Amino acid sequence: MSQIKTFEISLPLSKKDYLFLKDYIDNPGVEISNDIRDAFYIYKSHFSESDDNIILEKKDYSKFISKDKYKPNKASITESNLSDKASRIVRKNDLSFDVAKRIDVALDYSHTTIKCLTKKQLIKLRKIIIEEDLINNLPTYKLIDKIYDIIPNNDVFLLNVDWSSVLHNEINFIANEARLRSKPSNSYVVCLSFKGCCENCSKDIVGKVYKISQAPQIPYEKCSSHICLCNLLPFNPDYQYVSQDGQTKLKLDNEKEWKLWYLNNISLENTT
């Protein structure tokens, strides 16, 4: 009997991990965990093929992808609790469950990082994000020309907005919100970031663990960068912890250090 070949991938992704995953991410014969898949698309939204400086710090908890036959993880109404409109879009385009969750968030106009648009303009902008980013997977810069089509020619303010930064933040908000909504409110996430995140994010949220019901919105409201580089990723405090130097580690790496972290963070939180 032939063996299943597996490859170890750590989160957050490095550039090497990202480039490796590019060859497999759309292959239905390769099983990739949802966490790794989410991280790939988050990295992709910030990554430029010509930019060698955007590289994530590599942390030590492990995920695996397996090369094996499996039934593609397509969304269905029963398993995803999507809105009717999102369900129709997903069925029409044969999209993955992860993309389906993001589309569902994008169709909820009650939350956004863009405060300068009317609701009508926001609906049109989200339609661009759904069709061009989530469905067609186009790079962000290709969406900008379409945005100018929904802006009045005499609106000097909107015409001079840095839409590249605005789009990156809105797309990142949608991805993080979809991730949070798909997990129970009493489960945990850890805030991780790319190199070069701002001082406010580094001080306030990066490396911290939150119950989903208490997690900050990403992009972080106090972020001082044009593009917030933070992301909330699934975290299991029974097997993981954050070391004193801010690294996400496995309990097996240092059980004594994990126990001290757990007592000071998780146990203390549950008693208050």
- Give the tens place of pLDDT for each residue, 140-169: 888 988 898 888 888 888 888 899 999 999
- Give the tens place of pLDDT for each residue, 240-257: 988 887 788 888 888 999
Could you give the CA distance from residue 98 to residue 72 in angstroms, rounded to a whole number?
A: 12
- What length is written for the chain? 272
Residues 63 and 85 in one domain: no
Whether the Cβ atoms of residue 218 and residue 230 lie closer than 8 Å to each other: yes
Residues 202 and 267 in one domain: yes
Residues 47 and 114 in one domain: no
Higher pLDDT, 221 or 154: 221
Residues 154 and 237 in one domain: no
Cα angle at 103 between 163 and 112, to 5 degrees?
45
The alpha carbon torsion through 253, 210, 17, 99 (nearest 10 deg) reads: 140
Domain containing 217: what range? 187-271
pLDDT tier at 25, thresholds 50, 70, 90:
confident
Residues 86 and 62 in one domain: no
Instruction: Return the sign of the alpha-carbon dihedral for residues 235, 73, 103, 172.
Output: positive
Residues 220 and 135 in one domain: no
> What does pTM read for this prediction?
0.67
Residues 158 and 226 in one domain: no
- pLDDT for residue 52 is more than 50: no
Domain count, the chain: 3
Whether the Cβ atoms of residue 33 and residue 220 lie closer than 8 Å to each other: no
pLDDT tier at 188, thresholds 50, 70, 90:
very high
Residues 31 and 97 in one domain: no
In sequence order, what DSSP letters do the residues of 128-192 get, joined into one string?
Answer: HIIIIIIIT---GGGGHHHHHTTS-TT-HHHHTS-HHHHHHHHHHHHHHHHHHHTS-TTSEEEEE
